[in-house]
Amino acid sequence: MKEIRFRDHILPLKDKLFRLALRITLHREEAEDIVQDTLLRVWEKRETWPQIESIEAYCTTICRNLALDRNAAARNSNLRLDEQMDTPPLGTTPFEDLSQKEQLETTQRLMDNLPELWRSIMLLRDVEGKRYDEIAEILSISESQVKVYLHRARTRLREQITKVERYGL
C-alpha cells in the first residue's frame, strides 16, 4: 500500500484534468467546474486511495466521465482547436490567416463527427501525450484496441480532410 497525499499527488494533476475537460466540453467555464467536481469526488473517496493502482488514471477517468456527461447534456461544439489563433503570426497575409482559420474550423468540425471513443483516444494520445497503456487504463479497454481505434480515427480524419480539400464538402 502506498500513501497518497492530495496536495502532492492529486492537486498537481489539475492542469492535465483541465485540458482534458476543455477538449471534451469546449468551454473554459465548464472545464473549470468539471475539474473542481473531479477533485471533490476524488477527495470524497480518499479512503480508497491506497487500493488505487494509478491515481492519475483514476482522476482522469472521473474527469472524462464528468465531461462526457456534461457534454451530452449541453451538446457543446463551438470552440476552435487553438485559442492562440486570435492573434495572427507576424508576416502573414490576411489570406493565409483566413485559410489557416478555416482549416482549424474544418478539422474541429470533422473531429466532432468522429465516434466519442475515437475522439477521446486521439485527444489523450495526440494532445495530452499519454502512452497507449495509460489510455487503455483510463478508457477501460485493451491496449491493442487503443491502437486500432487511434489508427481508424486518424485514417477517417485524414480521408475527410482530403475530401474537403478536393471537393469542398
What integer pLDDT is reported at residue 4 of this predicted model? Answer: 81
151 and 98 both lie in a single domain: yes
Given a contact cutoff of 8 angstroms between Cβ atoms, the answer to whether 99 and 89 are in contact is no
67 and 96 both lie in a single domain: no
What integer pLDDT is reported at residue 79 of this predicted model? Answer: 44
> For residue 13, which phi and psi values (nearest 5 degrees)?
-85, -5
115 and 165 both lie in a single domain: yes
Residue 137 has pLDDT above 80, yes or no: yes
74 and 105 both lie in a single domain: no
- Supply 35's cell numbers: 475539474
Burial (CB count <10 Å: 0-12, 13-18, 19+), residue 123: buried
Rounded to whole angstroms, how far apart are CA atoms 38 and 15? Answer: 12
Q: Determine the average pLDDT of the residues in 154-162.
A: 90
In a domain, 96, yes or no: yes
What integer pLDDT is reported at residue 76 of this predicted model? Answer: 37
Q: Determine the average pLDDT of the residues in 108-114.
A: 86
What mean pLDDT is reported for the chain? 83
Rounded to whole angstroms, how far apart are CA atoms 142 and 14? Answer: 26
pLDDT in tens, 69-104: 887 766 534 444 444 445 555 556 787 778 788 888
pLDDT in tens, 47-64: 888 888 888 999 999 999
What integer pLDDT is reported at residue 103 of this predicted model? Answer: 80
Give the CATH number for residue 140: 1.10.10.10
Dihedral over Cα of 103, 104, 109, 111: its sign: positive
What integer pLDDT is reported at residue 87 of this predicted model? Answer: 53
Angle in degrees, CA 141, 145, 149, rounded to 5: 115
Residue 77: closest CA among 114, 46, 44 = 114
Q: Which domain holds residue 135?
A: 91-169
Dihedral over Cα of 96, 20, 54, 117: its sign: negative
95 and 66 both lie in a single domain: no
In a domain, 133, yes or no: yes
19 and 62 both lie in a single domain: yes
What integer pLDDT is reported at residue 145 of this predicted model? Answer: 94
pLDDT in tens, 3-33: 788 888 888 999 999 998 888 888 888 899 9
What integer pLDDT is reported at residue 78 of this predicted model? Answer: 42
Given a contact cutoff of 8 angstroms between Cβ atoms, the answer to whether 124 and 20 are in contact is yes
Count of domains for the chain: 2
Q: Residue 4 gets which letter from DSSP?
A: -
Rounded to whole angstroms, how far apart are CA atoms 68 and 151? Answer: 22
Residue 146 has pLDDT above 90, yes or no: yes
Give the CATH number for residue 6: 1.10.1740
Given a contact cutoff of 8 angstroms between Cβ atoms, the answer to whether 56 and 85 are in contact is no
